[in-house]
A = this chain, B = another copy of it.
């Protein structure tokens, strides 16, 4: 029996303490983590993985809490993974949210993890996917992944969810809509939160107009749902939209495509990581690698030839 077998088995039977232990193991990249993840992997694939992307000002955390309470009322177990940029700005907000979300923090049917300040160097997407697997295998029905949607790691995370909600708020002018062009493309459902503020309908119109430019022949036209998350308004409608999207994913074959893409991204990320680990510090010492960088910096070599000669040291 492997070191991790007891933990895997406790996790698969849904024990809360095993869950916390397994997630810590994965987060600190413990040598036993790959074994554990391999053992629990066959039990994954049951959870609905939902991304919630929006700015800190959009009330996105409040919406996540409202969704979590809604799912809890339907006896579903809910995991919340907060992926925020490693920015000091988010520190205060998270503290405030913790107080407003005290009921969720004490509910054993809810597991909340912030990935904000752990400083995963380039490995945030991998760590997030691994934590999703742990929650999924442990019997959580829903995993909510909260992101700001800006930055390389964040976009990678968003690419691996099944349904992504993009949260907007009224009163953002043309400028903000334009900024969000990059974010618009990743929305399966648009949420206009704080919809009791003036300008909510205008925002809905603006999003509809933007959508008409992109989605002309699309099989899925993202719906726009108005919510007031702080008053838990619109959450039923949002749940229905998420359910409707999931049906579309299943019937269109898009779910298979996304799951396959998720697997592909996960494998390729790990392949590249393992390759760099074995090449630099393995086949070639770190000092030799720094010397290659020096040569390129001093124009004695160039990036193309440097990469080519490094890859030639590896036998395929």
Q: Is the CB–CB distance between A182 and B293 below 8 Å?
A: no
Q: Report if A17 contacts B (CB, 8 A).
A: no
Residue of A34, A58, A183 ringed by the most chain B CB atoms within 10 A: A34
Residues of B within 8 A of A266 (CB): 303
- Knowing A296-B263, A297-B259, A316-B282, the reply to whether A175 touches B41 (Cβ < 8 A) is no
A170 to chain B, nearest CB (A): 10
A177 to chain B, nearest CB (A): 8
Q: Is the CB–CB distance between A302 and B271 below 8 Å?
A: no
Number of copies: 2
Q: Which of B90, B150, B171, B267 contacts A303 (CB 8 A)?
A: B267
With CB as the reference atom, state the residue of chain B lying closest to A273: B307
Q: Report if A123 contacts B (CB, 8 A).
A: no
Residues of B within 8 A of A85 (CB): 181-182, 185
Q: Give A83-112 as 1s and 0s: 1 = Cβ < 8 Å from B's Cβ atoms.
A: 001011110000000000000000000000
Q: Which of A6-14, A72-80, A151-159, A241-249 contacts B (4 or more CB under 8 A)?
A: A151-159
With CB as the reference atom, state the residue of chain B lying closest to A302: B41
Q: Report if A286 contacts B (CB, 8 A).
A: no
Q: Which of B174, B175, B179, B304 contacts A38 (CB 8 A)?
A: B304
- Knowing A85-B181, A87-B185, A263-B296, the reply to whether A175 touches B173 (Cβ < 8 A) is no
Q: Report if A217 contacts B (CB, 8 A).
A: no
Instruction: Tell me if A's interface is mostly helix, strand, loop or mixed.
Output: helix
Query: Which residues of A131-162 have CB atoms within 8 Å of chain B's CB atoms?
Result: 148-152, 154-156
Q: How far is the CA of A271 from the CA of B266 in the complex (A)?
A: 19
Q: How far is the CA of A213 from the CA of B259 in the complex (A)?
A: 40
Residues of B within 8 A of A200 (CB): none
Q: Is the CB–CB distance between A303 and B89 below 8 Å?
A: no
- Knowing A272-B272, A272-B276, A302-B37, the reply to whether A181 touches B314 (Cβ < 8 A) is no
Q: How far is the CA of A154 from the CA of B150 in the complex (A)?
A: 10
A203 to chain B, nearest CB (A): 12
Q: Which of B41, B45, B267, B316 contacts A292 (CB 8 A)?
A: B267
Q: How far is the CA of A177 from the CA of B34 in the complex (A)?
A: 40
Q: Is the CB–CB distance between A87 and B181 below 8 Å?
A: yes
Residues of B within 8 A of A169 (CB): 175
Q: Report if A5 contacts B (CB, 8 A).
A: no
Q: Report if A31 contacts B (CB, 8 A).
A: no
Q: Is the CB–CB distance between A314 and B316 below 8 Å?
A: yes
Q: Report if A291 contacts B (CB, 8 A).
A: no
Q: Report if A268 contacts B (CB, 8 A).
A: yes
Q: Which of B178, B182, B210, B270 contacts A304 (CB 8 A)?
A: B270
Q: Apart from A55-B181, A263-B296, what are 17 other A-B pairs with CB-CB below 8 Å?
A: A38-B302, A55-B178, A57-B176, A58-B175, A88-B214, A148-B181, A149-B150, A150-B150, A150-B182, A263-B297, A267-B292, A270-B303, A271-B276, A272-B275, A275-B314, A278-B311, A314-B316
